[in-house]
């Protein structure tokens, strides 16, 4: 079972969201990926069919803080990172390093 989830909160901006999502997906095989679609039009469901990720969609935008709260309810891993859909993580080992640090420093 994976112990870390990377959740990406998205509202529209499909092109950059998919760039971020694909990079996160390819660089973090040990993490679960959740795409939280906060009422985007069109939805992301047809764009992510080639990715093995979790997908959740709100029909209408519920805004940021309620969306984050829902993400906390959806995630079943002990560690969670929430990213905005335009956040490019440059370091390929950023998440694994952060998780290792948290484990050692409880």
50-77 pLDDT tens trace: 999 999 999 999 999 999 999 999 999 9
Q: Quick one: pLDDT band at residue 32, thresholds 50, 70, 90?
A: very high
> What pLDDT score was predicted for residue 85?
96
- Could you please report the per-residue DSSP string of 11-47? -S-HHHHHHHHHHHHHH-TTSEEEEEEES-SS-STTT
User: Rounded CA gap, 79 and 7, in Å?
Assistant: 11
User: Rounded CA gap, 49 and 43, in Å?
Assistant: 12
Q: Quick one: pLDDT band at residue 106, thresholds 50, 70, 90?
A: confident
Residues 70-98 have pLDDT tens digits of: 999 999 999 999 999 999 999 999 999 99
User: Rounded CA gap, 10 and 14, in Å?
Assistant: 8
> What pLDDT score was predicted for residue 37?
98
């Amino acid at each position: 079972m994976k112990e870390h989830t990377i959740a990406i909160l998205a509202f529209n901006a499909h092109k950059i969201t998919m760039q971020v999502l694909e990079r996160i997906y390819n660089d973090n095989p040990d993490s679960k990926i959740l795409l939280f679609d906060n009422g985007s039009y069109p939805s992301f469901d047809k764009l992510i069919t080639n990715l093995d990720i979790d997908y959740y969609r709100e029909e209408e935008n519920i805004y940021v803080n309620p969306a984050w709260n829902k993400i906390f309810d959806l995630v079943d891993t002990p560690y969670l990172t929430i990213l905005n859909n335009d956040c490019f993580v440059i370091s390929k080992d950023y998440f694994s390093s952060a998780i290792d640090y948290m484990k050692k420093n409880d």
